[in-house]
Amino acid sequence: MQCPFCKAPDTRVVDSRLAEDGTQVRRRRECEQCGGRFTTFERAHLAMPNVIKRSGNPEPFSEDKLRRGMESALYKRPVTAEQLDHAIENIKRKLRGLAEREVPSRQLGEWVMEELRDLDHVAYVRFASIYRAFSDVNAFREEIERLQTLPTPEERRLQLPLIEELDIARDTPAGGRKG
């Protein structure tokens, strides 16, 4: 890799580590000519499918457009940037997992609603009202009544550690120590 300081054509890797939960490789590099050190990040570039709009026209997937839509629904809601990033990564993982060149916008919208429902019910209803084009108050009421039968995002977050604790308990011998 070219040195960003002196533009020498070769640099050597001094240190490599996994970053971002193993989705990136962080490399410390050193220029053999000027001695300058810098960091690079390497990530797999996987092609994302085109999104087929309701009109039938294909459009390249845009993470920025996805983020803006979700941020709009989450405006002034108690959801952290990390939680939003995680939700977006989940959606992108599902898109890549399809291994298809095209995905209907309806499927993408359903995945967004699933993630928003798990983050914040108000944001979910905001997004759903536009996405599903609620025509009257009754449509809002029906969606809210359906949501009330589900665990809240806070309750869902509390449930996950219990499941993990049960898995750990099953793997632990009666003496209390892992074998």
Q: How confident is the model at residue 176 (pLDDT cuts 50, 70, 90)?
A: very low
Q: How confident is the model at residue 34 (pLDDT cuts 50, 70, 90)?
A: very high
Residues in contact with 1: Cβ distance below 8 Å, sequence separation at least 6, in sequence order: 10, 11, 29, 40
pTM for the complete prediction?
0.60
Q: How far apart are CA 73 and CA 134, in angstroms?
A: 15
Torsions phi, psi of 52, nearest 5? -90, 110
Which of 21-25, 129-133, 175-179 is predicted most confidently? Answer: 21-25
What pLDDT is attached to residue 115? 94
Structure tokens at 26: 């962080």
pLDDT tens-digit map of 73-112? 999 999 999 999 999 999 999 998 888 899 999 999 999 9
Q: How far apart are CA 130 and CA 179, in angstroms?
A: 53
Structure tokens at 41: 């990040």
Angle at 156 between CA 150 and CA 160, to 5 degrees: 140
Q: Helix crossing, 81-98 with 105-119: angle to 10°?
A: 150
Judged against a pLDDT cut of 90, whether residue 9 lies above it is answered with: yes
Structure tokens at 63: 């993470």
